[in-house]
Amino acid sequence: MKTSFPILIFLFLVVAFSCKDDNPDTPTVLSTGFDIGNQHFTDTKTTSYITRHGEMIKVVGADFELYIAISDTGSKLFTVTDTLKATDIGKARCIIKINNEYKFSTSGTINLESRHKSGAFSVIIEDVNLSNGKIKVDSTIYEPIADFTRISGTDYNGWPMTTPDPNDWNIRENWSMEERFVFNLKPVNTQASPAVMAAYPNPCNQYLAFNMNNPESTTTDFVVVNANFEVELIFQDIQSTICMFDMGNISNVGDYYRIYYRINSGSEQFYGSGDVKTLK
């Protein structure tokens, strides 16, 4: 016993020292924040929404809102891009609302560590430079930031099969922060319009048809996004009031998606959206 006692003390010291931070010079991130010039902005809460498609980081402060869309949860270093696609790896986009204005990221990098619980970033958002950025996630939710599951069910002839979602396939005036990624929407509100649209069948197999009652001399742009607001498909400058889209190239057949559309009528633009479920 006398000979084993010093050995036990030695082992205890080895374990104690080995449990210390391997990088003692690395500062602990206490909160999400960034600098704009000489002014520092700090969050009141940072939430991460994780899906199979990627991650959306929502940062809310007393005088700003910052959303960061991350292409995947496997990478650590992300390069800021102007369009986040479903096939992207190591890419990100940002939008900030500050002084009641919306601005979108143009360049920068985001570095996330510790299973995306903390990190650092330096991002240019149009004419605003967010420097010395730090990320500290307060809570993680393994659900999409927006619910795409309330579809307006229709059969192959367009007849309703469920109670329609009042938010689907109508021109909308108000938009959440993450939705503004799709068309880089900047106005606080968008215009109302009598335009009406129907999508069928919903749920759909490979093909989804649209019937539009739009103002004359218009074109329509469609963008299909997944639950992380990554672009899956784009259909532009559609002139016909009846059209059919091939949905077979989306990333996960059998999932829910949202389709945003923009009606271009001369100098005016109108926006709407609707949810769709795809069948395996």
CATH number for 170-277: choose from 2.40.50.140, 2.60.40.10, 3.20.20.110, 3.40.718.10.
Answer: 2.60.40.10
Tell me the one-letter amino acid at 156.
Answer: Y
Contact 144, 150 (CB under 8 A): no
Rounded distance between C-alpha atoms, residue 82 and residue 245, angstroms: 25
What is each CA distance from 169 to 80, 91, 261, in whole angstroms?
31, 30, 9
Rounded distance between C-alpha atoms, residue 255 and residue 86, angstroms: 13
Rounded distance between C-alpha atoms, residue 170 and residue 266, angstroms: 20
Task: Return the pLDDT at 75.
Answer: 95
Tell me the one-letter amino acid at 142.
Answer: Y
Task: Return the pLDDT at 27.
Answer: 56
Q: Work out whether strand 91-98 and strand 101-113 pair parallel, antiparallel, or are unpaired.
A: antiparallel
Domain boundaries for CATH 2.60.40.10 within the chain = 170-277
Rounded distance between C-alpha atoms, residue 257 and residue 278, angstroms: 8
Q: Work out whether strand 55-61 and strand 170-171 pair parallel, antiparallel, or are unpaired.
A: unpaired
Task: Return the pLDDT at 188.
Answer: 83
User: What is the number of other CB atoms lying within 10 angstroms of the CB of residue 274?
Assistant: 23
User: Within the chain, which residues score under 70 in pLDDT?
Assistant: 1-27, 194
Task: Return the pLDDT at 16.
Answer: 44
Rounded distance between C-alpha atoms, residue 86 and residue 70, angstroms: 11
Contact 126, 36 (CB under 8 A): no
Residues 6+ apart with CB under 8 A from 264: 218, 219, 220, 221
Task: Return the pLDDT at 170.
Answer: 87
Rounded distance between C-alpha atoms, residue 66 and residue 244, angstroms: 36
pTM for the full model?
0.87
Task: Return the pLDDT at 175.
Answer: 95
Rounded distance between C-alpha atoms, residue 144 and residue 26, angstroms: 32
Of the candidates 216, 226, 220, the one whose C-alpha atom is nearest the C-alpha of residue 249 is 226
> For residue range 15-67, what is the model confidence (pLDDT) as tens digits?
444 443 444 444 577 899 999 999 999 999 999 999 999 999 999 999 999 99
Tell me the one-letter amino acid at 211.
Answer: N
249 exposed, middle or buried (CB, 10 Å; 0-12, 13-18, 19+)? exposed
